[in-house]
Structure 1
Amino acid sequence: MPIHEGKDAETAEELMRSRYSAFALQLESHLMRSWHPRTRPEPPLIAPGTTWRRLEVLDTVDGGTDDEDGIVEFRAHGMQDGEAFVMQERSRFVRRACRWVYLDGEMN
């Protein structure tokens, strides 16, 4: 919750985990704040009828406290209108004004 309340994430993975929980908790303001303005879509960012159940971090490349960019690959398990699904993405993060932000991702 500290990151949802404005604390800066120290790593790209920490930001990615906070974004996953923001989707689960429907904290759209955190998603907007943590998304690079060049790639951020228009709201709403949260799909109605979706419930997030579990997150698996599969890989991280860079994205540490001394890096300027990083990659986090993850699998997110959820339910959409009563149907189970799994979303896998390789997400790119960059530092912008000394803060980690989500840039974009490639779905697998």
Structure 2
Amino acid sequence: MVTAFDVCALSDLVDGDKRLVHAGGEDILLCRTGVDIRAVRNMCTHAASGLEEGRLRGGVLVCPLHGARFDLNEGGRCLGGAGYRPLMMFETKVEGGRVWVVVEV
């Protein structure tokens, strides 16, 4: 079953911000770049480390452990590093000034 979860106010995320939220049993990292809100599973596909401490610049999220770079504007694909799979991404929507994340539960 697919469910949308209200996770935060849009005003809580300014450009360049990240926020760790929990929805549908998932740890999800929200990333805002300009007007876009991207949501990814908070886990690097290389070493299963959290991404919340990583840098976010221009839609690219950098893993703080090994420096792997993931393009959130291109489906979470890795921009280098053999064997890195794309990040798992979740659909987001903004309604009534709130950010919603769609998760299969």
Is the shorter-chain TM-score for this pair beyond 0.5, marking a shared fold? no
Structure with more helix by fraction:
1
Q: Which has the higher contact order (CA 8 A, sep 6+)?
A: 2
Structure with more strand by fraction:
2
TM-score w.r.t. length of structure 1? 0.34
TM-score w.r.t. length of structure 2? 0.35
